[in-house]
Amino acid sequence: MEKIDNLDRKILEIVMRNARIPSKDVAMECGVSRAAIHQRLQRMIDLKVITGSGYHVNPKILGYRTCTYIGVNLERGAMYRDVVPELEKIPEVVECHFTTGPYTMLIKLYARDNEHLMELLNDKIQMIHGVNGTETLISLDSSIDREIPINYE
């Protein structure tokens, strides 16, 4: 993989704070041309350093008031590849991780309320072939939500 230099890191730090910042403002803050910013951003996209951009949406405003983490145990760890496509069919599931520790998988989902959560658990997640059991952890509050720090000189 090509090296990410200090200018790349500075650009990343700026656009991570505000993905909508105009390139001319990034260029001015970095002391380079707008074309250089475009080229470096495109290179970092091509290298998959930058994997997306967009808006953060507040689930509560859209009626999804319950944030839940669910530890999922599978009959066999190898069933992960079969279970993930089934979880992708559930739009409320926003993250899925193959993990070590007490669970085979850890998923994050948003539900409208506890009744909706129970429906998702009982009628969808626990009905997936290979799911052996679940443990539900409801998030009461989110205190930190940030990207990995970018260090540059």
pLDDT along the chain (153 residues), means of 10: 86 92 96 96 94 88 97 96 98 97 97 98 98 97 89 75
Q: What is the pLDDT of residue 63?
A: 97
Q: What is the pLDDT of residue 2?
A: 65
C-beta separation of 72 from 106 below 8 A: yes
Q: Which of 83, 67, 72, 63 is CA-nearest to residue 117?
A: 67
Q: What is the pLDDT of residue 3?
A: 87
Q: Which of 123, 122, 88, 129 is CA-nearest to residue 107?
A: 88
* Helix%, strand%, coil% for the chain, nearest 5: 40, 20, 40
Q: Hey, what are 153's tokens?
A: 């000189």
Characterize the bridge pairing of strands 131-139 and 93-98: unpaired
Q: What is the pLDDT of residue 137?
A: 97
Q: What is the pLDDT of residue 53?
A: 82
